Structure 1
Amino acid sequence: MTSPTKPRAYLCRRFTDSVEAAMRTRYALHVNEQDSILSPQEIVHTAQGAQVLFASATEQINKEVLRRLSPTLRYVATLSVGYDHIDLAEAQALGIGVLHTPDVLSDACAEIAMMLMLNACRRGYEADRLVRSGDWTGWSPTQLLGTGLKGKRAVIFGMGRIGREIATRAQAFGMEIHYHNRRPLPPAQAANAIYHANLDDALRLADVLVIAVPGSPQLKGVINAERIALMPPQAVLVNISRGELVDDEALIGALSAGRLFAAGLDVFANEPHVDPRYRKLDNVFLSPHIGSATKETRDAMGWLLINGLDALFQGGTPNNLLHPPHPAHTRETAQ
């Protein structure tokens, strides 16, 4: 039976225009017009009465949020692949379905990984600053010498869909690919990449380390001083996963001492409050968590959530559903 009124939905952050337009045709949509990062308490206050909560990786959908929005809240739809910002156990206990956006952002994230890698290896920040400052006096045989990619060993920590796309691009630059996962990939997916069951063994070969593993509390600080010390001298570190996976103190120390040649970072602990010491380092290339930031990708992510919710309201089970909601939550159909 079709509900006579549109389900109420709350949008924590602004999505692309086309996605928001599609949401408004389906839901009585209330929006965080300021596009600010909302605290859990603010989400509870502003999303009261919502059946659908559209979130992103910047919102902490914790136990308190879920409990206080239940039982009205039926679905949380997050514009992200990762879901460590959502208390899944509590959502499941309350019968709240959770959707995320896998598969559609692998290319965009792999492109950012290569941007960070190239800029770290070829001193992109210093080069750009030299030209913009007006201090460039002309070409010199030894000016801003970087490190090339061809023949280097790239170790990809996390060889999921994004990791495999990074591997494909890195191979095109002539790099040798190694990877660490919990288990090896089937040969067709590995595409000649060399598997290491032990992360420490892989790090000893990492001319370039690319962190692309899904974030989880268990991995906080996994790249610490001891593990950075295992990497070859003058290695490069790239992180597109979660900032919390890298010990800032250890990385900043290694960059400052010249133990690492450079780093490229798109993610940070305590975003957007970046450790100010990074801003003083010439040998780190920084970008503001833009891994999936293409219009095509953000549109695709939004539509994945919309289509998944359409399926749920019609009694189906979309592929991007992390766990099924309570059966009573699928009885009404969204318009």
Structure 2
Amino acid sequence: MSKPYVYITRQVPEQLVEPYREIANIGMWKHDDLPVDQETLEKEMAEADGIVTMLSDKVNEEILQKAKRLKVIANLAVGYDNLDLKVIENRGIVATNTPDVLTEATADLTFALLLATGRRLIEADQFVRQGKWKQWSPFLLAGSEMNQKNIGIVGMGRIGEAVARRAKGFGMEILYHNRTKKEEAEKELAAQFCSFEELLEKSDFVVCLTPLTDETKGLFNKDAFERMKQTAIFINVSRGAVVDEEALYDALVSGQIRAAGLDVFQQEPVDPNHPLLSLNQVVCLPHIGSASEETREAMIKLCLDNVTSVLQGKPPVTPIR
């Protein structure tokens, strides 16, 4: 009996793939830093029994029409807004993601971005490199402290709770907004559940970790930024489409809010001429929330565990639903 065929839409380290070659024939896209082209993806979709996709791969009805043998799609991300789940499920295909394994790495990055933005670290680095540091002065590149400040977390899932634990260690007061109350987090961290509007009005740091859904698309709009304190700092490590970027730019330029730290954008890779990139009070990262070596390796292994489990007739390890 021939082995099933699995395709991975990026090149990943062979040492991670090798153990799974006993179970399946595995093909990979030739680049690790460029997305698979449409023609190749369609060809592979027609031949594959299982596929490992990246968050930048759009899996919709059009591409799935080519998938005659496909049994499982493993998405290398927690979010899955790139997958048309309704079409996937209607075709009897299993969809999986990678929860849990990236929680701590993403929380680390979120808090690092919060610190870098609040304490103006990127501005300070450039100030030194550009030869502008001529003397010390009391308010040179003065930023915002964390201690005794309110952090408002929008989206209190696993990553949100991990960020809250870090914030607690910095002496911050934790506010959160979520679809459901998190009683354990409230007990452990003294976190306070708030309406979205109340969180915006009270928070010194507003951290967006909510998944992208029809309800959250454009959640942070002109009205949201107008509700924030003028000293507020906005952090987004979820999805770019949760934010109205034009409204964010206007809020920053007008002084409606103080600064922003962004790991995600509406269009990725972001255009280097994007208006937000022109602002010194914005720290921009290339969607690296989970990008530690340990976590990315764990994510790839989990994807392959999901694929091979389904192809062997077993339940997936982490089904999306």
- In percent, how many aligned pairs have the same letter? 36
Q: Report the counterpart of residue 37 of structure 1 in structure 2.
A: 35
Q: Report the counterpart of residue 305 of structure 1 in structure 2.
A: 303
Following TM superposition, where does structure 1 have runs of at least 4 consecutive aligned residues deviating by more than 4 angstroms?
39-42
Q: C-alpha displacement at 1:40, in angstroms?
A: 4.8
Q: 1:294 aligns with which of 284, 292, 295?
A: 292
Are the aligned partners of 1:41 and 1:65 in contact in 2 as well (CA < 8 Å)? no
- 1:50 maps onto 2:48 in alignment: yes
Unaligned runs of 5+ in 1: 324-335
Q: C-alpha displacement at 1:67, in angstroms?
A: 2.0
Structure-2 separation of matches of 1:161 and 1:223: 21
Deviates more, 1:301-310 or 1:200-209: 301-310
Structure-2 separation of matches of 1:145 and 1:7: 59
Structure-1 separation of matches of 2:243 and 2:37: 24
Q: 1:266 aligns with which of 263, 268, 288?
A: 263
Q: 2:207 aligns with which of 210, 221, 245?
A: 210
Structure-1 separation of matches of 2:275 and 2:60: 31
Structure-2 separation of matches of 1:167 and 1:315: 39
Deviates more, 1:169-178 or 1:215-224: 215-224
Residue type matched to 2:283 in 1?
F
| RMSD, aligned CA | 1.7
Q: Report the counterpart of residue 151 of structure 2 in structure 1.
A: 154
Q: C-alpha displacement at 1:190, in angstroms?
A: 5.3
Could you say which structure has the greater relative contact order, defined with CA pairs below 8 angstroms and 6 or more residues apart?
A: 1
Deviates more, 1:43-52 or 1:282-291: 43-52
- 1:254 maps onto 2:259 in alignment: no
Structure-2 separation of matches of 1:250 and 1:38: 33
Q: 1:91 aligns with which of 88, 103, 123?
A: 88
Structure-2 separation of matches of 1:31 and 1:230: 47
Structure-2 separation of matches of 1:33 and 1:314: 27
Unaligned runs of 5+ in 2: none
- When normalised by structure 1's length, the TM-score is 0.90
> How do 1:160-239 and structure 2 match up within 5 A?
160-187=157-184, 191=188, 192-196=190-194, 198-239=195-236
Q: C-alpha displacement at 1:15, in angstroms?
A: 2.8
Q: C-alpha displacement at 1:17, in angstroms?
A: 4.0
Structure-2 separation of matches of 1:314 and 1:17: 22
Q: Deviations over 1:128-168 (max 9, x none)?
A: 10111122113221200111011110000000000000000
> How do 1:98-117 and structure 2 match up within 5 A?
98-117=95-114
Q: Report the counterpart of residue 313 of structure 2 in structure 1.
A: 315
Q: C-alpha displacement at 1:176, in angstroms?
A: 0.3
Are the aligned partners of 2:107 and 2:159 in contact in 1 as well (CA < 8 Å)? yes
Q: Report the counterpart of residue 64 of structure 1 in structure 2.
A: 62
